Amino acid sequence: MQAQAPPLLPLLRSRLQAELLTVVLLSPGREWTLTDLAGRVGASVSSAQREVARAEQAGVVRSRRLGNTRLVTAADSPLTGPLTELLLRSFGPRQILADALAGLEGIEAAYLFGSWAARYAGQEGRAPADLDVLVIGRPDRDELDEVAQRAGARLAREVNVTIRTAQWWREGGDAFHAEVTRRPLVPILEPEGAA
């Protein structure tokens, strides 16, 4: 678990805290089990449980028991709205874009790259002004542009989409491929069988 504040939203205590709150607060009305939350953010259940307890004490999430299962959801609190907006703008792109792209045919994989991905990876620098998305596959360009515009409006940032084929992704050979693959990439949608 990362102990230092995440560069995308340095007022938060840790990346785990930011990731968990992003998942819960950007899905209002949905209840998450601790196991589902932990799996979604790549943490242990005990770490997720500690962060949920802190967030519950702060009044931004609430939980209830259903048998042996603890269900977590966003709380109705004066803090929830402003915190949700901050998380949407900082950590939200990965979740919002994954949800938006999931329904489009012809996408084999998608990644965030550029300044947002660099900040997400912990590299210091200016706050990202836009979002760069690499889509692998052969989606309908008009549908993809429409989805990117809607996601950009929700995230209050321009979403710039670059499409490349799966062969280009595997074989590369140009300067753009070299640049993209040497810098941080944040998976949005990964191909079947990817870890």
First to last CA, the chain: 19
pLDDT means per 10 residues in the chain (195 residues)?
54 83 90 94 93 90 94 92 86 89 93 93 87 96 96 92 95 92 92 56
The CATH code belonging to domain 92-189 is: 3.30.460.10
Record the pTM: 0.78
User: Which of helix, strand or coil describes residue 135?
Assistant: strand
Contact criterion met (CB below 8 Å) for 182 and 90? no
Q: What is the location of CATH 3.30.460.10 in the chain?
A: 92-189
Q: Write down the pLDDT at residue 8.
A: 58
Structure letter (DSSP) for residue 162: E
Specify whether the backbone of 39 is left (phi greater than 0), alpha (psi in -120 to 50) or beta: alpha
CATH topology of domain 15-90: Arc Repressor Mutant, subunit A (1.10.10)
Write down the pLDDT at residue 28.
Answer: 84
